[in-house]
Amino acid sequence: LLRAAADGGLALAQHNLGQALLQGNGVAQDPSEAARWFTRAAEQGLAVAQERLGALHEHGRGVAQDDVLASAWYSLALSNGQRSAGERLAALERRLAPDQRERARQLVPTLVPVRR
């Protein structure tokens, strides 16, 4: 049922399927597949999925480790109301060089496709 809802485009179902795949809850653990589902939900504007993608990129779990991209996802999640992303963003940005912080800021508007 969850996979059918996720396949049907429901962002929360996509996030929940990603979470199940990340943790191995009721399905085989697959962080790479989890990242794909989180991305689908995040691209629909689901802030909790955007924060999760930040964490995956920060720790290199299921995706390439990339602090700049992690910072961009955290920033987007925060701007969409995911307050816990603010703490993660602040901690990460303390480790980034000024040019990395600037690249992250420039990436934010490119993360989510424009919907018309």
The answer to whether residue 116 scores a pLDDT higher than 90 is no
The answer to whether residue 113 scores a pLDDT higher than 90 is no
Integer Cα distance of 64 and 58 in angstroms: 9
CATH code that applies to domain 2-110: 1.25.40.10
Provide the percentage of residues in the chain whose pLDDT is more than 90: 94
What is the arithmetic mean of pLDDT over 98-115? 90
Question: Do the Cβ atoms of 74 and 54 come closer than 8 Å?
Answer: yes
Integer Cα distance of 61 and 116 in angstroms: 32
Cα Dmax for the chain:
45
Rg (alpha carbons) of the chain, rounded to whole number: 14
CA nearest 52: which of 80, 93, 85? Answer: 85
pLDDT (0 to 100) of residue 115: 57
Q: How confident is the model at residue 114 (pLDDT cuts 50, 70, 90)?
A: low
Q: What's the pTM?
A: 0.94
What is the arithmetic mean of pLDDT over 22-38? 97
**Domain ranges across the chain:** 2-110
